[in-house]
A and B are shown apart, each in its own frame.
Chain A
Amino acid sequence: MNESWPSRTVELTVPAHEDFVAAVRAQTRSMAVLTSLGVDDVEELQMAIGEAATLLLPVVDLATPFFRVEFDLVADGMRIRLRARVRPGAAIDREGLAWMLLTALDPHVAVTGTDETCIEISRARSNSRL
């Protein structure tokens, strides 16, 4: 973590389409490396954000089909919030493989919001807690 950074939050907006999930994963890798997370943590964060996107894609409101991703680079690791506006009444699937893997990768994953759903995942460096 570089104390000279003027800000510790990075934002990314991409079309909510499967072709752009790889870009979100790549950005996640870049940000995780900046926070000095270990190789396994970086890989697992990439997997987790991919699963979060997989969960949101089927429920995205096609009138505003974007993913907004916020990366908080904190002292002991990183928090990522993936947001998308979802169709009225739609909710992410908590029964399938994507949810199972996401919760295995981050048992503390948080899902909030209704019209705009936010999935927050985090990873701390070893021996730290966020």
Chain B
Amino acid sequence: MSTFEVTPHTDDSGTTYLKVSGALDLAAAPQLIQEVKESQVLRLDLSEVDFMDSTGLGALITVRNGAREKNEELELLAISRAVERVLELSGLTDVFGTSHE
């Protein structure tokens, strides 16, 4: 498993998103919450997350709920198979409205 990283990117339309890579686990989940809080970016590309656990899922829920409190939405641009599997197991796939990559 690779090192956990959150890096800002800008797509062709000039919109910023955060690309998340590595293991989104209990050691990394607080970092994701902090990075989103500091950047105020609510578009995440999770296509390079090679492992996710319940604390990673909890971080996504925290970010989503925080966004909703401000009448905004968390958008998952792409998810990896590892993320997809955890969403399936938890029954939360529809909550996040994801696209698999």
Residues on B lying within 8 angstroms of A by beta carbon are 1, 23, 25-27, 51, 53-55, 57-58, 82, 85-86, 89-90
Cβ contact within 8 Å between B53 and A50: yes
Cβ contact within 8 Å between B26 and A101: no
Which of these binds chain B: A15-23, A64-72, A83-91, A108-116?
A: A15-23
Q: Separation in Å of the A46 CB from the closest CB of chain B?
A: 7
Per CB-CB distance, the 8 closest pairs between chain A and chain B, nearest first, are A97-B54, A98-B54, A104-B89, A18-B27, A18-B26, A50-B53, A101-B54, A101-B89
Alpha-carbon gap, A57 to B55, bound state (A):
12
Interface contact tally, CB-CB below 8 A: 53
Asked if A105 is at the interface (CB within 8 A of a chain B CB), the reply is yes
Residues on A lying within 8 angstroms of B by beta carbon are 18-19, 21-22, 25-26, 43, 46-47, 50-51, 54, 57, 96-98, 100-101, 104-105
Q: List 11 A-B contacts (CB under 8 A).
A: A25-B1, A43-B82, A46-B51, A47-B53, A50-B26, A50-B53, A51-B53, A54-B26, A98-B53, A98-B55, A100-B54
Alpha-carbon gap, A110 to B90, bound state (A):
20
Alpha-carbon gap, A71 to B27, bound state (A):
24
